[in-house]
Structure 1
Amino acid sequence: MKNTVLMMMLTLIAGIACAQQIQRTAPAIRITSIPLAVTAQKTTNLLFPYAIKSVDKGSRDILVQKAKGVDYLLQVKAATTEDFGQTNLTVVTTDGEFYSFLVSYHQNPADLNFRFGAAATAIKETKVLSADNEAVIEQNACLVAESESFLKRPAADRFGIRLALQGIYIQGEHMYYQLRLDNDTYIPYDIAQLRFFIRDQKKVKRMATQETELIPVFTSGNTESLAGQGSQVMVFVFDKHTIPDKKYLAVQLMEHGGGRNLELQTGNKTLVKARPLAPLE
């Protein structure tokens, strides 16, 4: 009896040792990263079958955010109009799935919308993407760009560079910002970035200022450079929004390799002046 028990124990120990050895020597499973091209002028949409649990971006060269009210839609775009070195993006969804992307810059990506997972999410995809009908938004943006300005403020200027918010229009679930950029100097202005933030009005001592970046769903116009003695109009399209109490909207314009940086600030008093944009026939 003792010999039988001893043999069983030796067999069990040997089995555990063997399993541990196999576990130590088993090769890792390689997960292939998905190539993803992004630009600063358009938003790339990633539609997942389950809600997004966590997101990690490899560098500040890309901007990411979950779509408002849509937990399974991630919006991605480049933070700069310049080509940047390849970076990565990691997404984990609530079903435990892991998604890895290799992100690179492309001035005009061939594809902007991607869906992952079961075909059962096709209905969700149709509803989300039809609301962002790119062709209609592009036509509306052209209409806004050609419209006469009706806002005298806000504006910001420095060293001969002037940025002004000339008009705000609304149609359906989208708001169209009409911005004008003027260069009164003979020195060309190379745009490093033009970004939108909602920030706290006052900074409490020993507390960091809270800010949320607004990422446009579409951009129209030249957002890369402005010639000397030149002027141009740009249109930025956002999901419908207002500004919370004790906060303001900041439009940050940065010059590449230069010091002619501007920040335009405004609040709800300006936003509520938005005019309706007549639907295209």
Structure 2
Amino acid sequence: MKTIIKYILLCLLTVNIVTAQESIQSINLSTAEVAPYKVELTQNKTTHILFPSSIEYVDLGSNEIIANKVEATSNVLRLKTIKEDITPTNFTVITNDGKYYNFNATYKTKPIQLSYDLTKFENQNNKQQSEVLFQYLGKTAPSLADLFMKAIIKKNKKELNIKSKNYGVEARLKSIYTQDGKLYFHLSINNKSNLPYKLDYVSFKIKDRKTTKRTTIQEVSLKPIRSYSDSQTINSQSKQDNVFILDQFTLSDKQMLLIEIKEKNGVRSQVLKVKSSDILKSKIIVYLKF
């Protein structure tokens, strides 16, 4: 009797497994397709594509086409073929704002169009682009990080009283926010002079607060992983706000963060001194209203 019961249970188990396997259906990836743009390329003329943000990555589907960024800018890609009548192919571009672009390229002796402005196209057609995640931003999507920075500038709240002023230029660290292991520094530069202020660079360095003659000065440079604006000129009688994203860090009581704002070919440089307590006062971005 026990043998019969075991046999029946085995048969039922076999039927359930077969039924489950039959019910599993393959997933149709066509619903997840990234719709490609169509581009015509030729050998004797160069095609240019203007992207809304800086180009981070380019992958060509064939060695019959060549592509590179225009040296004077970071968001223009130029392309052409190495011979006539190439086999239809594709290429992929990823931009700094995390957008993923897919292109189908075909050869045409005389293309109808040689310049494409994707910024204009996306604004007119409200095209939603696929988005990738960058390792340096962790789990935060690039578009969300940009939204955070925009919200910080729009809120424009002075949480800290850290400033530097000379020669008619004032720099101020207004606030520090934190999100997903990143620190967002809100800097403001107010050019009250009649001369434009051309920015050379903004640096972040951790230094010892006090040193003796026998002590070696310890200095650690921190590189921002993203900023809201790349503008390098602040016109006379005007102000510019920017947000810099850095990997999260803390300071000891014997250390300080120096933010140096360097003027190109000038002496109106500014230095902001940030203490450990200022870093620990960082506000959580989730409390911002978007």
The interval holding the TM-score normalised by the smaller chain is 0.5 to 0.7
Q: Is the 8 A contact 1:162 1:182 kept in 2?
A: yes
Amino acid at match of 1:131: K
Alignment of 1:234 onto 2:255: no
Consecutive unaligned residues of structure 2, counting only runs of 5 or more, are 1-52, 58-69, 76-92, 97-131
TM-score scaled to structure 1, two decimals?
Answer: 0.54
Residues 44, 214 of structure 1: alpha-carbon distance in 2 compared, 3 angstrom cutoff: farther
* Closer/same/farther in 2, CA of residues 160 and 209 from structure 1, 3 Å limit: same
Cα pair 2:139 2:180 within 8 Å, conserved: no
- 2:194 alignment partner, one of 180, 186, 194: 186
Query: How far does residue 237 in structure 1 lie from its aligned partner after superposition?
Result: 0.8
How far 1:223 moved relative to its partner? 4.0
> What per-residue deviation string (whole Å, max 9, x for no partner) do you get for residues 67-108 of structure 1?
xxxxxxxxxxxxxxxxxxxxxxxxxxxxxxxxxxxxx97643
Shift of residue 134 of structure 1?
1.6
Aligned to 2:169: 161
Tell me what 1:272 maps to. Answer: 280
Identity in percent: 20
Query: What is the CA-CA distance between 1:111 and the residue it aligns to?
Result: 5.2
Cα deviation digits, residues 10-58 of structure 1 (max 9, x gap): xxxxxxxxxxxxxxxxxxxxxxxxxxxxxxx98979xxxxxxxxxxxxx
Of 125-134 and 175-184, the range deviating more from structure 2:
125-134
- Secondary structure at the aligned position of 1:165 is classed as strand
Q: Structure 2 vs 1, CA of residues 132 and 180 (structure 1 numbering), >3 Å: closer, same or farther? A: same
Q: 1:142 Cα deviation (Å)?
A: 0.9
**Who is 1:128 aligned against?**
135
Counterpart residue type for residue 166 of structure 2: R
- Does the 8 Å CA contact 1:42/1:218 hold for their aligned counterparts? no
CA distance in 2, matches of 1:42, 1:213: 25
State how far apart, in whole Å, the 2-side matches of 1:132 and 1:106 are: 30
Q: Does the Cα contact within 8 Å between 2:133 and 2:140 map onto a contact in 1?
A: no
Cα-Cα RMSD: 3.1
- Give me the whole-angstrom Cα distance separating, in 2, the residues matched to 1:181 and 1:202: 28
Instruction: Pick from 227, 252, 255 the counterpart of residue 260 of structure 2.
Output: 252
Q: Which amino acid aligns with 1:162?
A: E
2:229 maps to 1:221: yes
* More off after superposition, 176-185 vs 128-137: 128-137
Report SS of the residue matched to 2:155: coil
Partner of 1:212: 220
**CA 1:278–1:107: 2 relative to 1, 3 Å:** farther
How many residue pairs get matched? 172
Q: 1:276 to 1:126 in 2, by over 3 A?
A: closer
Q: Indicate how the Cα distance of structure 1 residues 135 and 177 shifts in structure 2: closer, same or farther if over 3 A, else same.
A: same
Asked whether the equivalents of residues 251 and 264 of structure 1 are also in contact (C-alpha less than 8 Å), the reply is yes
Tell me if the contact between 2:160 and 2:278 (Cα under 8 Å) persists in the aligned partners.
no
Which of 50, 56, 74 in structure 2 is aligned with 1:108? 74
SS of 1:231's equivalent? strand
Partner of 2:183: 175
Residues 152 and 186 of structure 2 are in contact (CA less than 8 Å); yes or no, is this contact kept in structure 1? yes
Deviation at 1:203, TM superposition (A): 2.5
**Which residue type is aligned with residue 283 of structure 2?**
R
> Is 1:143 matched up with 2:143?
no
Higher relative contact order (CA 8 A, sep 6+): 1
> Which whole-Å CA distance do the structure 1 matches of 2:133 and 2:159 have between them?
36
Amino acid at match of 1:212: V
Gaps of 5+ in 1: 1-40, 46-103, 114-124
Report the Cα distance in structure 2 between the residues aligned to 1:270 and 1:188, rounded to whole angstroms.
31
- The CA distance in 2 between the partners of 1:194 and 1:131, in whole Å, is 26
1:151 offset after TM fit, Å? 2.4
Q: Is the 8 A contact 2:198 2:233 kept in 1?
A: yes
> Which consecutive segments of 4 or more residues in structure 1 shift more than 2 A?
41-45, 104-113, 125-133
Q: Which residue of 1 aligns with 2:50?
A: none
